[in-house]
Amino acid sequence: MIRLHLAAVLAGCFLDLCFGDPRFLWHPVCGMGSLISWLEKKLRKRFPKGETGERRAGLWLVILVLLVTGALSGTILWTAYYLSPYAGFLIESVMCGQMMAWRSLREESMKVYKAFLNGDVEGARAAVSMIVGRDTKDLSEEGITKAAVETVAENTSDGIIAPLLCMALFGGVGVFLYKAVNTMDSMVGYKNERYLWFGRAAARLDDICNFIPARLSAALMIGAGYVCQFLYGIKRKGNPYSGRNGLKMFKRDRFNHKSPNSAQTEAVCAGALQIQLAGNAYYFGKLYEKPTIGDPVRPVEYKDILRANHLMTVTYLIGLFPVFLLFIIVF
Protein backbone atom coordinates (compact mmCIF):
# COMPACT_ATOMS: atom_id res chain seq x y z
CA MET A 1 0.00 0.00 0.00
CA ILE A 2 2.83 2.40 0.78
CA ARG A 3 4.38 1.65 -2.61
CA LEU A 4 1.05 2.24 -4.37
CA HIS A 5 0.47 5.44 -2.45
CA LEU A 6 3.89 6.90 -3.29
CA ALA A 7 3.52 5.72 -6.87
CA ALA A 8 0.16 7.52 -7.04
CA VAL A 9 1.77 10.73 -5.80
CA LEU A 10 4.47 10.56 -8.48
CA ALA A 11 1.94 9.56 -11.14
CA GLY A 12 -0.24 12.52 -10.14
CA CYS A 13 2.70 14.87 -10.55
CA PHE A 14 3.39 13.32 -13.95
CA LEU A 15 -0.26 13.81 -14.99
CA ASP A 16 -0.08 17.47 -14.00
CA LEU A 17 3.19 17.83 -15.92
CA CYS A 18 1.64 16.37 -19.06
CA PHE A 19 -1.95 17.61 -18.98
CA GLY A 20 -2.39 20.27 -16.30
CA ASP A 21 -6.08 21.11 -15.91
CA PRO A 22 -7.84 20.19 -19.18
CA ARG A 23 -10.71 22.63 -19.68
CA PHE A 24 -13.05 19.91 -20.94
CA LEU A 25 -12.84 18.04 -17.62
CA TRP A 26 -14.78 19.01 -14.50
CA HIS A 27 -12.42 20.01 -11.68
CA PRO A 28 -13.11 19.16 -8.00
CA VAL A 29 -12.17 22.70 -6.95
CA CYS A 30 -15.15 23.96 -8.98
CA GLY A 31 -17.34 21.67 -6.89
CA MET A 32 -15.75 22.98 -3.71
CA GLY A 33 -16.38 26.54 -4.86
CA SER A 34 -20.04 25.80 -5.62
CA LEU A 35 -20.46 24.14 -2.23
CA ILE A 36 -18.88 27.11 -0.44
CA SER A 37 -21.11 29.61 -2.27
CA TRP A 38 -24.26 27.57 -1.56
CA LEU A 39 -23.42 27.12 2.12
CA GLU A 40 -22.59 30.79 2.52
CA LYS A 41 -26.07 31.80 1.35
CA LYS A 42 -27.77 29.23 3.60
CA LEU A 43 -25.66 30.01 6.69
CA ARG A 44 -26.03 33.79 6.38
CA LYS A 45 -29.80 33.35 6.42
CA ARG A 46 -29.71 31.05 9.45
CA PHE A 47 -27.35 33.09 11.64
CA PRO A 48 -27.93 36.71 12.72
CA LYS A 49 -25.90 39.57 11.31
CA GLY A 50 -23.11 41.01 13.40
CA GLU A 51 -19.75 39.78 14.64
CA THR A 52 -20.95 36.85 16.78
CA GLY A 53 -23.45 35.49 14.27
CA GLU A 54 -21.10 35.80 11.31
CA ARG A 55 -18.24 34.17 13.21
CA ARG A 56 -20.45 31.19 14.02
CA ALA A 57 -21.71 30.97 10.46
CA GLY A 58 -18.14 31.05 9.16
CA LEU A 59 -17.09 28.32 11.58
CA TRP A 60 -19.95 26.10 10.43
CA LEU A 61 -18.94 26.77 6.83
CA VAL A 62 -15.45 25.39 7.55
CA ILE A 63 -16.82 22.35 9.39
CA LEU A 64 -19.39 21.44 6.74
CA VAL A 65 -17.07 21.95 3.76
CA LEU A 66 -14.38 19.76 5.33
CA LEU A 67 -16.92 17.08 6.30
CA VAL A 68 -18.39 16.91 2.79
CA THR A 69 -15.00 17.04 1.07
CA GLY A 70 -13.47 14.39 3.36
CA ALA A 71 -16.50 12.09 3.16
CA LEU A 72 -16.80 12.21 -0.63
CA SER A 73 -13.10 11.91 -1.45
CA GLY A 74 -12.58 9.27 1.26
CA THR A 75 -15.53 7.16 0.08
CA ILE A 76 -14.42 7.29 -3.54
CA LEU A 77 -10.83 6.35 -2.73
CA TRP A 78 -11.72 3.67 -0.18
CA THR A 79 -14.19 2.07 -2.62
CA ALA A 80 -11.60 2.07 -5.39
CA TYR A 81 -8.94 0.41 -3.24
CA TYR A 82 -11.52 -2.07 -1.92
CA LEU A 83 -12.40 -3.14 -5.45
CA SER A 84 -8.77 -3.39 -6.58
CA PRO A 85 -5.39 -2.00 -5.51
CA TYR A 86 -4.82 -0.97 -9.10
CA ALA A 87 -8.17 0.82 -9.29
CA GLY A 88 -7.24 2.63 -6.07
CA PHE A 89 -3.87 3.58 -7.52
CA LEU A 90 -5.51 4.94 -10.67
CA ILE A 91 -8.10 6.99 -8.77
CA GLU A 92 -5.56 8.36 -6.29
CA SER A 93 -3.23 9.30 -9.14
CA VAL A 94 -5.98 11.32 -10.81
CA MET A 95 -6.92 12.92 -7.48
CA CYS A 96 -3.32 13.95 -6.86
CA GLY A 97 -2.86 15.19 -10.41
CA GLN A 98 -5.94 17.40 -10.17
CA MET A 99 -4.67 19.07 -7.01
CA MET A 100 -1.23 19.98 -8.40
CA ALA A 101 -0.94 23.36 -10.11
CA TRP A 102 2.54 23.50 -11.65
CA ARG A 103 1.48 23.38 -15.28
CA SER A 104 -1.55 25.64 -14.96
CA LEU A 105 0.41 28.20 -12.94
CA ARG A 106 3.21 28.18 -15.47
CA GLU A 107 0.85 28.43 -18.45
CA GLU A 108 -1.23 31.26 -17.03
CA SER A 109 1.74 33.33 -15.87
CA MET A 110 3.59 32.77 -19.14
CA LYS A 111 0.61 34.22 -21.02
CA VAL A 112 1.57 37.53 -19.41
CA TYR A 113 5.20 37.06 -20.49
CA LYS A 114 4.26 36.14 -24.05
CA ALA A 115 1.98 39.17 -24.34
CA PHE A 116 4.86 41.42 -23.31
CA LEU A 117 7.11 39.58 -25.74
CA ASN A 118 4.70 40.54 -28.51
CA GLY A 119 4.48 44.14 -27.31
CA ASP A 120 0.86 43.69 -26.22
CA VAL A 121 0.59 45.51 -22.88
CA GLU A 122 -3.22 45.33 -22.83
CA GLY A 123 -3.01 41.60 -23.48
CA ALA A 124 -0.56 41.26 -20.58
CA ARG A 125 -2.93 43.26 -18.35
CA ALA A 126 -5.84 41.02 -19.34
CA ALA A 127 -3.77 37.88 -18.74
CA VAL A 128 -2.59 38.95 -15.28
CA SER A 129 -6.16 39.88 -14.27
CA MET A 130 -6.99 36.16 -14.52
CA ILE A 131 -4.46 35.11 -11.89
CA VAL A 132 -4.45 37.94 -9.30
CA GLY A 133 -7.04 39.38 -6.94
CA ARG A 134 -5.96 43.03 -7.15
CA ASP A 135 -7.34 45.64 -9.52
CA THR A 136 -5.34 45.56 -12.75
CA LYS A 137 -6.88 48.15 -15.10
CA ASP A 138 -4.46 50.91 -14.07
CA LEU A 139 -1.33 48.81 -13.56
CA SER A 140 1.84 49.91 -15.34
CA GLU A 141 4.05 47.44 -17.17
CA GLU A 142 6.15 47.12 -14.03
CA GLY A 143 3.03 46.63 -11.92
CA ILE A 144 1.76 43.90 -14.24
CA THR A 145 5.11 42.12 -14.10
CA LYS A 146 5.33 42.37 -10.33
CA ALA A 147 1.79 41.00 -9.96
CA ALA A 148 2.64 37.98 -12.11
CA VAL A 149 5.94 37.32 -10.33
CA GLU A 150 4.31 37.61 -6.89
CA THR A 151 1.59 35.15 -7.93
CA VAL A 152 4.15 32.62 -9.11
CA ALA A 153 6.17 33.05 -5.91
CA GLU A 154 3.22 32.72 -3.53
CA ASN A 155 1.60 29.84 -5.39
CA THR A 156 4.84 27.88 -5.44
CA SER A 157 3.84 27.13 -1.86
CA ASP A 158 0.02 27.04 -2.10
CA GLY A 159 -0.24 25.29 -5.44
CA ILE A 160 2.82 23.03 -5.56
CA ILE A 161 4.86 22.32 -2.43
CA ALA A 162 1.96 22.32 0.07
CA PRO A 163 -0.16 19.91 -2.04
CA LEU A 164 2.90 17.74 -2.64
CA LEU A 165 3.56 17.56 1.10
CA CYS A 166 -0.09 16.75 1.84
CA MET A 167 -0.15 14.04 -0.83
CA ALA A 168 3.03 12.43 0.44
CA LEU A 169 1.86 12.42 4.07
CA PHE A 170 -1.93 12.00 3.82
CA GLY A 171 -2.71 10.80 0.30
CA GLY A 172 -5.52 11.86 -1.99
CA VAL A 173 -7.99 12.63 0.80
CA GLY A 174 -5.44 14.78 2.62
CA VAL A 175 -4.69 16.91 -0.42
CA PHE A 176 -8.43 17.32 -1.14
CA LEU A 177 -8.96 18.61 2.40
CA TYR A 178 -6.02 20.98 2.02
CA LYS A 179 -7.44 22.31 -1.25
CA ALA A 180 -10.82 22.80 0.40
CA VAL A 181 -9.18 24.96 3.07
CA ASN A 182 -7.25 26.87 0.41
CA THR A 183 -10.41 27.44 -1.65
CA MET A 184 -12.38 28.69 1.35
CA ASP A 185 -9.64 31.18 2.15
CA SER A 186 -9.52 32.42 -1.45
CA MET A 187 -13.30 32.90 -1.52
CA VAL A 188 -14.20 34.19 1.95
CA GLY A 189 -10.87 34.97 3.64
CA TYR A 190 -10.90 38.68 2.80
CA LYS A 191 -10.60 41.37 5.46
CA ASN A 192 -13.33 43.56 4.00
CA GLU A 193 -16.76 44.51 5.28
CA ARG A 194 -18.49 41.42 3.89
CA TYR A 195 -16.03 38.77 5.07
CA LEU A 196 -14.18 40.29 8.04
CA TRP A 197 -16.02 38.07 10.54
CA PHE A 198 -17.61 35.44 8.29
CA GLY A 199 -14.27 34.47 6.74
CA ARG A 200 -12.21 34.62 9.92
CA ALA A 201 -12.29 30.85 10.66
CA ALA A 202 -11.37 29.94 7.07
CA ALA A 203 -8.51 32.46 7.01
CA ARG A 204 -7.13 31.30 10.36
CA LEU A 205 -7.29 27.63 9.36
CA ASP A 206 -5.51 28.42 6.09
CA ASP A 207 -2.76 30.20 8.04
CA ILE A 208 -2.34 27.14 10.28
CA CYS A 209 -2.34 24.63 7.41
CA ASN A 210 0.22 26.64 5.43
CA PHE A 211 2.54 27.52 8.30
CA ILE A 212 4.97 24.63 7.72
CA PRO A 213 4.53 24.32 3.91
CA ALA A 214 5.24 28.04 3.39
CA ARG A 215 8.51 27.86 5.29
CA LEU A 216 9.48 24.59 3.66
CA SER A 217 8.75 26.13 0.25
CA ALA A 218 10.90 29.14 1.14
CA ALA A 219 13.79 26.88 2.17
CA LEU A 220 13.51 24.92 -1.08
CA MET A 221 13.34 28.15 -3.11
CA ILE A 222 16.50 29.42 -1.44
CA GLY A 223 18.20 26.27 -2.70
CA ALA A 224 16.63 26.84 -6.12
CA GLY A 225 18.10 30.34 -6.15
CA TYR A 226 21.59 28.93 -5.76
CA VAL A 227 20.90 26.28 -8.42
CA CYS A 228 19.62 28.87 -10.93
CA GLN A 229 22.58 31.12 -10.18
CA PHE A 230 24.94 28.20 -10.85
CA LEU A 231 23.17 27.15 -14.05
CA TYR A 232 23.23 30.70 -15.39
CA GLY A 233 26.91 31.02 -14.51
CA ILE A 234 27.99 32.24 -11.09
CA LYS A 235 30.66 34.57 -12.47
CA ARG A 236 28.74 35.47 -15.61
CA LYS A 237 28.20 39.21 -15.92
CA GLY A 238 24.60 40.30 -15.43
CA ASN A 239 23.52 37.12 -13.66
CA PRO A 240 19.92 37.89 -12.57
CA TYR A 241 19.89 35.20 -9.86
CA SER A 242 21.41 35.37 -6.40
CA GLY A 243 20.91 32.55 -3.93
CA ARG A 244 22.67 34.52 -1.22
CA ASN A 245 20.41 37.52 -1.68
CA GLY A 246 17.39 35.22 -1.62
CA LEU A 247 18.46 34.00 1.81
CA LYS A 248 19.14 37.57 2.95
CA MET A 249 15.70 38.86 1.91
CA PHE A 250 14.03 35.80 3.45
CA LYS A 251 15.57 36.63 6.81
CA ARG A 252 14.66 40.32 6.53
CA ASP A 253 11.31 40.53 4.71
CA ARG A 254 9.53 37.21 5.25
CA PHE A 255 6.96 38.87 7.53
CA ASN A 256 6.30 41.94 5.32
CA HIS A 257 2.74 40.81 4.71
CA LYS A 258 -0.42 40.68 6.81
CA SER A 259 -0.56 36.94 6.25
CA PRO A 260 2.13 35.08 8.23
CA ASN A 261 2.79 32.84 5.23
CA SER A 262 2.43 34.80 1.98
CA ALA A 263 5.70 36.73 2.19
CA GLN A 264 7.84 33.66 2.92
CA THR A 265 8.36 32.65 -0.72
CA GLU A 266 7.82 36.19 -2.05
CA ALA A 267 10.78 37.39 0.01
CA VAL A 268 13.00 34.62 -1.35
CA CYS A 269 11.86 35.23 -4.92
CA ALA A 270 12.43 39.00 -4.67
CA GLY A 271 15.89 38.45 -3.22
CA ALA A 272 16.88 35.67 -5.61
CA LEU A 273 15.82 37.81 -8.60
CA GLN A 274 17.34 40.94 -7.01
CA ILE A 275 14.17 43.00 -7.49
CA GLN A 276 11.60 44.67 -5.26
CA LEU A 277 8.08 43.26 -5.03
CA ALA A 278 4.82 44.04 -3.17
CA GLY A 279 4.01 47.59 -2.05
CA ASN A 280 0.67 49.40 -2.26
CA ALA A 281 -2.12 47.87 -4.34
CA TYR A 282 -5.80 48.43 -5.09
CA TYR A 283 -8.38 45.76 -4.27
CA PHE A 284 -12.04 46.29 -5.22
CA GLY A 285 -11.30 49.97 -5.80
CA LYS A 286 -9.74 50.54 -2.39
CA LEU A 287 -6.05 51.30 -1.83
CA TYR A 288 -4.25 48.98 0.59
CA GLU A 289 -0.91 50.19 1.85
CA LYS A 290 1.58 47.34 2.09
CA PRO A 291 5.33 47.26 2.73
CA THR A 292 7.70 46.39 -0.07
CA ILE A 293 9.62 43.11 -0.22
CA GLY A 294 13.22 42.98 -1.42
CA ASP A 295 15.60 45.68 -2.64
CA PRO A 296 15.60 47.21 -6.14
CA VAL A 297 19.09 46.00 -6.99
CA ARG A 298 17.97 46.18 -10.61
CA PRO A 299 14.74 47.34 -12.32
CA VAL A 300 11.84 44.93 -12.72
CA GLU A 301 11.49 43.69 -16.32
CA TYR A 302 9.03 41.34 -17.97
CA LYS A 303 11.73 38.64 -18.28
CA ASP A 304 11.43 38.27 -14.50
CA ILE A 305 8.19 36.36 -15.09
CA LEU A 306 10.19 33.71 -16.94
CA ARG A 307 12.87 33.74 -14.23
CA ALA A 308 10.25 33.35 -11.49
CA ASN A 309 8.95 30.30 -13.36
CA HIS A 310 12.48 28.89 -13.44
CA LEU A 311 12.73 29.36 -9.67
CA MET A 312 9.32 27.73 -9.20
CA THR A 313 10.22 24.71 -11.35
CA VAL A 314 13.58 24.11 -9.69
CA THR A 315 11.92 24.46 -6.28
CA TYR A 316 9.39 21.84 -7.34
CA LEU A 317 12.07 19.44 -8.56
CA ILE A 318 14.04 19.77 -5.32
CA GLY A 319 10.86 19.09 -3.34
CA LEU A 320 9.93 16.13 -5.51
CA PHE A 321 13.31 14.45 -5.13
CA PRO A 322 12.78 13.11 -1.55
CA VAL A 323 9.43 11.61 -2.57
CA PHE A 324 11.04 9.90 -5.55
CA LEU A 325 13.93 8.71 -3.38
CA LEU A 326 11.54 7.27 -0.78
CA PHE A 327 9.62 5.48 -3.53
CA ILE A 328 12.87 3.89 -4.79
CA ILE A 329 13.73 2.80 -1.24
CA VAL A 330 10.38 1.12 -0.48
CA PHE A 331 10.04 -0.34 -3.96
> DSSP assignment of 127-144, as one string?
HHHTT-SS--TT--HHHH
Within the chain, where are the H helices? 2-19, 28-46, 51-83, 85-99, 102-117, 121-129, 141-156, 162-188, 200-209, 211-232, 243-253, 262-273, 303-330
Q: What is the pLDDT of residues 35-48, one digit of tens each?
A: 999 999 999 999 99
- pLDDT score recorded for residue 3: 85
CA distances from 271 to 78, 120, 311 (A): 45, 28, 12
Q: What is the pLDDT of residues 274-328, one digit of tens each?
A: 999 988 777 767 777 789 999 999 999 999 999 999 999 999 999 999 999 988 8
* Backbone angle region of 286, left / alpha / beta, with phi > 0 → left and psi within -120 to 50 → alpha: beta
| pLDDT at residue 154 tops 80 | yes
- pLDDT score recorded for residue 127: 94
Beta carbons of 175 and 163 less than 8 angstroms apart? yes
- pLDDT score recorded for residue 12: 95
Q: What is the pLDDT of residues 126-138, one digit of tens each?
A: 999 998 878 888 8
- The alpha carbon dihedral of 199, 205, 211, 216 has a sign of negative
DSSP classification of residue 21: S
pTM reported for the whole predicted model: 0.92
- pLDDT score recorded for residue 78: 95
- pLDDT score recorded for residue 193: 82
- pLDDT score recorded for residue 302: 94
